[in-house]
Amino acid sequence: MKQVRNTQAKTEILNLINASETALSHYTIQEKVGDLCNRVTIYRILDRLEEEGKIHKIVNVNGVVNYAKCSQCKEESHSHDHVHFNCEKCLSVICLENVVPKISLSDHFVAHTYNFVISGICPKCCGS
């Protein structure tokens, strides 16, 4: 079993992601942590947090990678079989934990994971 290293930067980044209602991009995380660490260190921390089952990646409709907290993952069992919503107006990416699409694959296909991103307008932007 790998030793889990907790640094101030790792703790701060995890706290940011856990406190956010939306998935955060590397750029947003870098803005929020300021001079605490450089961009390469942030990438390493994000990779480590994903390996530990604490966060997951979402690629939005524009190809930007975002990071969100995991709700039921562990290091040995990392699964995100839910839908993500990408708002076209405010560009937020939101995990929709209670929306699970039904998938039916042809014979001889075995799905290990999937990533669904729905693009549209979120509830906050619908009224504005």
| Binding residue ranges for Fe cation | 97
Q: 3-class SS at 100?
A: coil
Annotated binding site: 87, 90, 97, 122, 125
- For residue 48, how far is the Cα from the chain centroid? 13
Q: 3-class SS at 114?
A: coil
- Residue of 31, 73, 32 whose CA lies nearest to 54: 73
Annotated binding site for Zn(2+): 87, 90, 122, 125
